[in-house]
């Protein structure tokens, strides 16, 4: 695996944050490491959905898998990710409602 340049790292972080479920996964992992089955239960989605999102987040370099016997625990790859998420969730943005009328869309925002 190669180390992403700063620009590439921001693009990957943005891609990870573009999906509401991935955001929720990251926020849960920023609180504490967790197993996929526990994440699925907390999120109210299937394990397959969580596994797909974890694979994406792993590919972006944001989470790591830590083997624990027959299970795998996931955690943030770097403690600074947690701090970045805290900073981002603390922002108050002046949003143009005509830009992204559907919060789940990949519109102009």
pLDDT confidence bin for 101, thresholds 50/70/90: low
Which residue in 107, 93, 19, 100 sits closest to 60, CA to CA? 19
Q: Residue 108: pLDDT above 60?
A: no
pLDDT tens figures, 38-95: 999 999 999 999 999 999 999 999 999 999 999 999 999 999 999 999 998 888 677 7
Is 64 a member of any domain? yes
pLDDT at site 9? 82
Q: pTM score, two decimals?
A: 0.80
Calpha distance 2→5 (Å, rounded): 9
- What are the DSSP calls for 48-81, one per residue? HHHHHHHHHHHHTTSEEEEEETTEEEEEES-HHH
Q: What is the residue range of 79's domain?
A: 13-83
Cβ burial of 99 (10 Å; 0-12, 13-18, 19+) is: exposed
Q: Structurally, how many domains does the chain consist of?
A: 1
Is 78 a member of any domain? yes
Q: Please, are residues 46 and 12 in contact by the beta-carbon 8 Å criterion?
A: no
Is 108 a member of any domain? no
Is 3 a member of any domain? no
pLDDT at site 52? 96
Is 49 a member of any domain? yes
Is 105 a member of any domain? no
pLDDT tens figures, 28-45: 999 999 999 999 999 999
Q: What is the CATH number of the domain that holds 65?
A: 1.10.10.10
What distance separates the 2 farthest-apart alpha carbons in the chain? 50
pLDDT confidence bin for 102, thresholds 50/70/90: low
């Amino acid at each position: 695996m190669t180390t992403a340049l700063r620009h590439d790292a921001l693009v990957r972080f943005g891609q990870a944050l573009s999906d509401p479920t991935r955001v929720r996964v990251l926020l849960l992992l920023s609180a504490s490491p967790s197993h996929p089955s526990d994440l699925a239960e907390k999120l109210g989605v299937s394990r397959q959905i969580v596994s797909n999102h974890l694979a994406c987040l792993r590919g972006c370099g944001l989470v790591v898998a830590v083997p624990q016997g027959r299970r795998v625990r996931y955690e943030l790859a770097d403690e600074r990710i947690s701090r970045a998420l805290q900073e981002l969730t603390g922002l108050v943005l002046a949003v143009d409602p005509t830009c992204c009328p559907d919060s789940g869309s990949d519109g102009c925002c």
